[in-house]
Amino acid sequence: MKNPMLEAVSLVLEKLLLISNFKLFSSGAPVEDKARNTFYEINSFLRGDVLEVPRTHLTHYGIYLGDNRVAHMMPDILLALTDDKELTQKVVSNKRLILGVIGRVASIRVDTVEDFAYGADILVNHLDRSLKKKALLNEEVARRAEKLLGMTPYSLLWNNCEHFVTYCRFGTAISPQADKDISKCTVKECGNAVPLPAMPESCPVIAADVIRVSIQRS
């Protein structure tokens, strides 16, 4: 059963996070020439590896599927406007991303390593060390990611790219990045910070069957 107060608190927190990171989202993608000139050692990646792309204020995550393919969660408002796969498969622009975050619509999609990282450095399986968790076998990680491909609800707090990869890699959907952002929320940036509430019952948890049920109910 839905808790209206919890839903309201979660919505406010998500909006505050979006506002606090707005400069990051609106600053534009990395310089195109850099993206084109960056060479990645794709042969060093193994199927099921977690690829991590550090940015200035946040980190983007994906699961390597092999053959220069990366599965990752991307907010994209275009998914709510058209079924044209030729349009939606194009690299997501910042405008599409921002509106996707606001509209809570995303997809777990497959892009090349180059389009996924867009010129940034890539860390491999860094979460294994930072979270000190035992990873599942790489093939199981990749299969989990492949089963989740397609549209999914999006939430900065409860269902973001880090939730996706931690579910695939460790079997538990968590996002230390989101927790850290909330804990750093200051009075100046976000008003009086409130404790991070427990996950709302209505919020999707990263698991293939749960996501399908959530979409069907919406």
Q: Domain residues of the chain, as ranges?
A: 35-183
Phi, psi (degrees; rounded to nearest 5) at 103: -85, -5
**CATH of span 35-183:** 3.90.1720.10
Q: Is 80 exceeded by the pLDDT of residue 27?
A: no
Q: pLDDT tens digits for 153-204? A: 999 888 999 999 999 999 999 998 877 765 555 444 445 444 444 454 444 4
> Is 203 an annotated catalytic residue?
no
Given the residues 161, 168, 185, 190, the one annotated as active site: 161
| DSSP string for 123-160 | EESHHHHHHT-PPPPHHHHHHHHHHT-EEEE-BTTTBS
Residues 54-82: b if buried by 16+ CB within 10 A, e if exposed: eeeebebbbbbbeebbbbbbbbbbbbeee
89-128 confidence digits (pLDDT tens): 999 988 999 999 999 999 999 999 999 998 899 999 999 9
Nearest alpha-carbon partner for 38 in 47, 30, 49: 30
The Cα–Cα gap between 73 and 110 comes to 9
Q: Give me the pLDDT at residue 12, please.
A: 47
pLDDT bracket for residue 151 (50, 70, 90): very high
- Give pLDDT, residue 158: 87
pTM given for the model? 0.73
User: Which run of H or of E encompasses 34?
Assistant: helix 32-37
Cβ 72 vs Cβ 62: under 8 Å: yes
